[in-house]
Amino acid sequence: MRRILVPTDFSEQAHYAFEVAVNIAKRTGAGIKLLHVVDMPGSSNFSTAGDGGYHDGMEQLFILRLMETTKTKMAKLISKVEHEGVVVVQEVDVDSIVNKIKRVIEADKVDLVVMGSKGSSGMDEFLVGSNTEKVVRVAQCPVLTIKTSNPTFDIKEIVLASNFRREVGKAMDAFKYFQQLFNARLHLVYINTPGAFESSSNLRSKLAHAAEKYDLHNYTINIYNDTIEEDGILHFAEDINADMIMMATHGRTGLSHLLSGSIAEDLVNHTSRPVLTYQI
């Protein structure tokens, strides 16, 4: 791992995400980019050189001052987290938040995004969701979502929830990397629901085959019965007091996402535990 991206809005959760990113960087030798995006209408036409076509002079001046203030906040954030030995760079831009993050991931060849999230619920979740949820949907690298303070980030028990079909193999290298990075125990879990019920013996055989296929070590196999998959993952993680949940997501967008939803994105919104997602 060489590059970690930490988008920040200077919230408590973003501060927690930076702490976790520093912890991971110290373990891996990675560098960190702190990114703040000023999300404003017409921002795609803005230029710090002053040649924007959409904004008049007053708008240009306002945004330039806003960016200078933001850089000051960024410096304060960096100074509050002990990061000796970790290279931290910062970027401030005016753009669409999710689109900017997506472009930075591609341009910088980012290996991991660490984001703070407050989650969302109710009508807000139905209409727009959270920025973190949207990044989970579009990012072409693992995304680690952080909601609570965890500066030591001592990960010992990891839940890997999946149906363990063939496509999950695309994410397995990332999941194994994190397990080995923290020398953690991996709990493979299949949530058995009434609408898609299978016998425990068949499911255990399926999980054992997956563990052998992907050369997993230090793991347990678990079949957990619940009414819906999301609740089952949350309840299982609570039962074993998991330190982190890992899931693959299909990253669907548009109508297909509205119709099918995403269990991984729901988890990002509804659990306080760190969630590592990987789009397949």
Give the least confident one: 124-133, 174-183, 268-277: 124-133
Q: What percent of the chain has pLDDT over 90?
A: 57
Q: Please, which pLDDT band fits residue 266 given cuts at 50, 70 and 90? A: confident
Q: Which CATH class is domain 157-275?
A: alpha beta
The domains of the chain are located at 3-146, 157-275
70's enclosing H/E stretch is helix 57-80
For domain 3-146, give the fold: Rossmann fold (3.40.50)
pLDDT in tens, 29-81: 999 999 999 876 554 444 444 444 554 666 777 777 887 888 888 889 999 99
Is there a shared CATH topology between the 3-146 domain and the 157-275 domain? yes
Q: What does pTM read for this prediction?
A: 0.86
Closest CA to 72 of 95, 52, 88, 92: 92
Q: Which of 73-87, 111-125, 176-190 shows the highest mean pLDDT?
A: 176-190
In this structure, are residues 94 and 40 in contact, taking their beta carbons and an 8 Å threshold? yes
Residue with token string 């930076």: 18
Tokens of 184: 């953690």
What is the structure's pLDDT at 251? 57
pLDDT in tens, 197-247: 889 999 999 999 999 999 999 999 999 999 999 999 999 999 999 999 999
Sheet holding 185-192, edge to edge: 88-94, 31-38, 3-7, 112-116, 143-146, 275-279, 244-249, 157-161, 185-192, 219-225
Closest CA to 247 of 229, 220, 224, 228: 229
Q: Which phi and psi angles does 47 have, rounded to 5°?
A: -140, 135
Residue with token string 């879990």: 189
